Amino acid sequence: MDTSGGSTTKIIQLVEDNLAKRRNDANQNRRSTENFTIFRVPLNLDSVDSCVYQPRVISIGPYHHGDPNLTAMENHKLFYLEKLIHWIPNVSLKSYVEKMLLLEDRARNCYSDDERMNIVDKNKFIEILVVDSCFLFMLVLRPDIRNHHNSPIRGLDWSLALVLTDLLKLENQIPFFIIQELVQMTGIFDTNSFIERLIELYSTCLGILTPRDHNPHQQPFDHFLHLFQVSFKTGIIQQVPKIKNPSALVRKTKEFRTVMQLLESGVKFTPKSGRCILDITFKNGVLEFPHISIDETFKVFLHNMVSLEQCNVKYGNHFTSYACFINNLVDSPGDVTILEQKKVFANLLGSNENVADVFNQLGLGVIHHTTSNYLHGVENEMKEYCGSRWPRWRGMLVRDYFNNPWVITSLIAGFAVLLLTFLQTYYTMLPFYFP
């Protein structure tokens, strides 16, 4: 008996039931991915080094709210909320809650993790928005509160540094329009003043220096992490210069060279003045970088910037391009040593191997669109320069004959002997021609 017809009918029915369920779920949860601005770190990145993505002392937003390791700061957030209510008595707690109720749907749609957002109910989400936004508001605008005798971070620079570092993590954000609404409600400061004080706080406490001329006052951004991303990449223009000898790119350089290899090819490394770490230039055989202090904060900052860009193409890929560029240059502790000697890197992580690991780990799992790489022109110029003969010969000369004072002394002595021999021969033969 042929049962294929019955089996086909059952399979079709099963697929149609699944399609109906999917349409029903989609109708119940209509959230456009275009509105997502706060993401979970992609698994291909989180699996490499989850420590740089997980908050250590404080949760902001719903993703890590309730984590047992972070509950100690919840009471401290309420301390800051209480201080805000006493500082601005004309705005009640009820006013803050009512404002967040109006913004609840818009804020909820910023978070990409449906599973987590379905667990966080309306009341809990409003509570998180109120408490967390008020804490951030006071942390930035009232530094004197940090020195209050009941403040949890009074006199503890390391504690404040941990808090500020956690606020740079991709999963630990709230929408910036929530902060803007809070600033407008209080009426004491405007948004630009808040941004200026936020940037000053990070500059003073963590040494994160944004470009002075490119603070993102009038530009839209989504949260703290995006604010810093915008401030760094503003003014960095992708420039792809014309290559004088395109064949040199293919003929002489098959791969991107490390610092040690570039040094042997005659490339020089120098630090440059400026506050934007993205501002890398190459000219006449000199590769210039802004000075970088590499510590745990820099590691967290760079990893989360790259993660943000990996989550949505609208954020561009400036930090991804930067990370991949440095990852190609720094392959070993020896490369780090050279950049330290040239005053480009300041190693605050201990061993040079730890510094090399920071950049090498960034290259794992990252999708890099080279066609939109703002450093493409720099890379092309470097390849063309290294593809010509003279830089290689000069590099070999420096490496083999001028890297040791004894070798230099011997070389000078050899030239002196050769010169004296020539002069002796000349004056010996001179009487035969001019008696």
pLDDT tens for residues 242-277?
444 444 333 333 457 899 999 888 899 999 887 788
Same domain for 409 and 379, yes or no, is no
CA trace torsion 223, 227, 229, 234 (10° rounding): 150
Complete DSSP assignment for 315-365? G-SHHHHHHHHHHHH--SHHHHHHHHHTTSEEE-SSSHHHHHHHHHHHTSS
Structure tokens at 67: 């984590």
Paired with 288 in beta bridges are: 270, 281
Paired with 282 in beta bridges are: 287
pLDDT for 247 equals 45
Same domain for 341 and 416, yes or no, is no
Same domain for 300 and 383, yes or no, is yes
Same domain for 111 and 203, yes or no, is yes
Q: How far apart are CA 427 and CA 120, in angstroms?
A: 98
Same domain for 425 and 277, yes or no, is no
User: Residue 227 falls within a domain, yes or no?
Assistant: yes
User: Residue 321 falls within a domain, yes or no?
Assistant: yes
The letter for the amino acid at 247 is S
Strands 268-272, 286-290: pairing kind? parallel
The enclosing H or E element of 10 equals: helix 4-28
User: Residue 264 falls within a domain, yes or no?
Assistant: yes
- Residue ranges for the chain with pLDDT beneath 70: 1-6, 25-32, 147-158, 211-218, 235-255, 371, 388-408, 410-411, 423, 426-427, 429-435
Same domain for 55 and 168, yes or no, is yes
Q: Which residues, at least 6 apart from 156, have a Cβ–Cβ distance to it below 8 Å?
A: none
Structure tokens at 235: 């003014």
Domain extent for 82: 43-233
> CB of 301 within 8 A of CB of 168?
yes
Model pTM score: 0.81
Q: State the distance between the two ends of the chain, measured CA to CA, in whole angstroms.
A: 127
User: Residue 6 falls within a domain, yes or no?
Assistant: no
Complete DSSP assignment for 135-167? HHHHHHH-HHHHTSTT-TTTT-HHHHHHHHHHT
The letter for the amino acid at 277 is I
Q: How many CA atoms lie within 13 A of 152 on its CB side?
A: 18
User: Residue 16 falls within a domain, yes or no?
Assistant: no
Same domain for 190 and 54, yes or no, is yes
Same domain for 218 and 96, yes or no, is yes
> CB of 236 within 8 A of CB of 276?
yes
Q: How far apart are CA 381 and CA 253, in angstroms?
A: 12
pLDDT tens for residues 289-298?
988 899 999 9
Q: Which residue has the tokens 């086909």?
A: 8
pLDDT for 254 equals 41
Same domain for 300 and 215, yes or no, is no
Same domain for 213 and 307, yes or no, is no
Computed over its alpha carbons, how large is the radius of gyration of the chain? 30
User: Residue 83 falls within a domain, yes or no?
Assistant: yes
The enclosing H or E element of 282 equals: strand 281-283
Same domain for 67 and 212, yes or no, is yes
CA dist 307 → 23, 163, 231, 287 (Å) = 31, 20, 17, 27
CA torsion sign for 429, 432, 434, 435 is positive
Largest CA distance in the chain: 127
The enclosing H or E element of 292 equals: strand 292-294
Q: How far apart are CA 327 and CA 258, in angstroms?
A: 9
Q: How many domains does the chain have?
A: 3
Q: Which SS3 state, helix, strand or coil, does residue 294 take?
A: strand
Q: How far apart are CA 371 and CA 57, in angstroms?
A: 39
User: Residue 60 falls within a domain, yes or no?
Assistant: yes
Q: Which residues, at least 6 apart from 248, have a Cβ–Cβ distance to it below 8 Å?
A: 383, 384, 387, 388
Same domain for 296 and 427, yes or no, is no
> What length does the chain have?
435
What angle, 0 to 180 degrees and rounded to 10, lies between the N-to-C axes of helices 405-433 and 389-401? 100
User: Residue 379 falls within a domain, yes or no?
Assistant: yes
